[in-house]
A and B are shown apart, each in its own frame.
Chain A
Amino acid sequence: MKRHGPWLLLVFALSFALGHVACAWWIPRHIMGTTLSAMARGGERLNTFNAGRRVTPDSRRVVRPSPDLAYSACVYDLSDAPLHVRVPPWRHYWSVSLYAANSDNYATRNDRTDAAGTEFLLVGQDDPAPAVSMPVMRSPSATGVILIRRLMPDAAEWSALAPLREEDRCESWRG
């Protein structure tokens, strides 16, 4: 037994390290995956903006949501085609943030970078970029999410927001 003890300990230690690192790597991808799946209703609402309701105690999809912001989310999949995104300006702070499948915030546009609203084409990291006049952005992963945040100084602003959200575009680019 003495002869085998160190080997068993070594196998345990190596497996422990492997399990630890693998789990830490898996956690953000798993949480993002399940969250994005719920946001896209299992794929039914992919590559289109879903306008979120006002954040309340019943908003339980993403932790620590801000009740001061109106959120819209477009869960994307670039496997078949690039994504065309267009968001009009809002009279208060607004931003359009891009997140990879591992939860990294790899790019953000906002009212300071694009005062007149933002428009861009999103393509995969290694995919060819079509010749277009708008900026082209690259996603580190084939899937991810684009999140619009619009500041709502008070509840009365929600009525002004509804028609603006109709203009949000997130759709597959067919050239």
Chain B
Amino acid sequence: MTPIASPWIWRSSLLAAAIAGLVFGGASAWWLTGREAVIGGRIEVGGWATSTRIGATAADPWTRAVIARVGLMALNRDEAVYYFRDTDGDGRPLDERCTYRLSGVDLPARWWSVTLYAEDEFLARNDDDAHSLQGSALIAGAEIEGRVWRANVGPEREGDEPWLSTRAAGRFKLTLRLYHPAVSLREDPAALPAPTIERLGCHGAGSV
């Protein structure tokens, strides 16, 4: 008789396999739901990502878990549509040491805003009071021709341009909120006239 054939060792081995399976299975779910790419119904447009299942009662368990971790109490898309991004127009991670030009046109919703969040999913710990910009203010200052609005995203305010401060934000993220979106956007979130974000330069980030 081999040692594994001993009933005691056999039962212990089964128990160890079951415990290891539960632990690794739970850990894999935790790891997986920390990634926004897991969100079901994911749609990407111009570097911004959204999902038709955010806040929905029909969300799958993984989507529900991801949203609980990165956007608890989000609204379903009848009320609001959210878009997220954590990279610039060239696909590089957004970095607090860099300066960016965020620009776009008016968005098809009753009101909208763009908000900057730090790596930890909360407002960056700085006292600049420049965490979010509302669409109405951006449009009011937009160029008449083409109605293109522009905002500066970086560690320091530059001129009179609307500003989102990146101080203490680390590898930050941007969230677009569109409340009471146009029916066309609600039905097809890929129809967003997506704002662009272009990296202008960096201080101490190793490259420009």
What is A's interface to B at a CB cutoff of 8 Å?
Answer: 1, 4, 7-9, 11-25, 27-28, 31-32, 35, 55-57, 59-60, 62-68, 93, 95, 97, 99, 102-106, 108, 110, 112, 140, 145, 147, 151, 153
Report yes or no: A64 in contact with B23, Cβ–Cβ below 8 A.
no
Query: Interface of chain A, helix or strand or loop or mixed?
Result: mixed
Report yes or no: B65 in contact with A28, Cβ–Cβ below 8 A.
yes
For B74, the chain A residues whose CB sits under 8 A away are: 105
Report yes or no: A68 in contact with B132, Cβ–Cβ below 8 A.
yes
- On whether A106 and B57 interact (CB within 8 A), knowing A57-B122, A66-B177, A93-B179, the answer reads yes
For B21, the chain A residues whose CB sits under 8 A away are: 11-19
For A68, the chain B residues whose CB sits under 8 A away are: 113, 115, 132, 134, 177
> Please, could you name 26 A-B residue pairs with CB atoms under 8 Å apart, sorted by A?
A8-B13, A12-B18, A12-B20, A15-B20, A15-B25, A16-B28, A17-B21, A18-B25, A27-B30, A27-B65, A28-B65, A28-B67, A31-B72, A32-B68, A32-B72, A60-B122, A62-B72, A63-B71, A64-B121, A65-B122, A68-B177, A103-B67, A103-B72, A104-B55, A105-B74, A153-B134
B198 to chain A, nearest CB (A): 24
What is B's interface to A at a CB cutoff of 8 Å?
Answer: 2, 4-5, 10, 13-14, 17-30, 32-33, 55-57, 59, 61-62, 64-65, 67-76, 78-79, 110-111, 113, 115, 117, 121-127, 131-132, 134, 136, 175, 177, 179-180
Report yes or no: A20 in contact with B73, Cβ–Cβ below 8 A.
no
Most interface-central of A18, A25, A35, A105 (chain B CB within 10 A): A105
- On whether A4 and B13 interact (CB within 8 A), knowing A16-B22, A55-B123, A67-B115, the answer reads yes
For B2, the chain A residues whose CB sits under 8 A away are: 1
Distance A12 CA – B26 CA, assembled complex (angstroms): 13
- On whether A15 and B73 interact (CB within 8 A), knowing A1-B4, A57-B125, the answer reads no
Report yes or no: B24 in contact with A56, Cβ–Cβ below 8 A.
no
B37 to chain A, nearest CB (A): 15
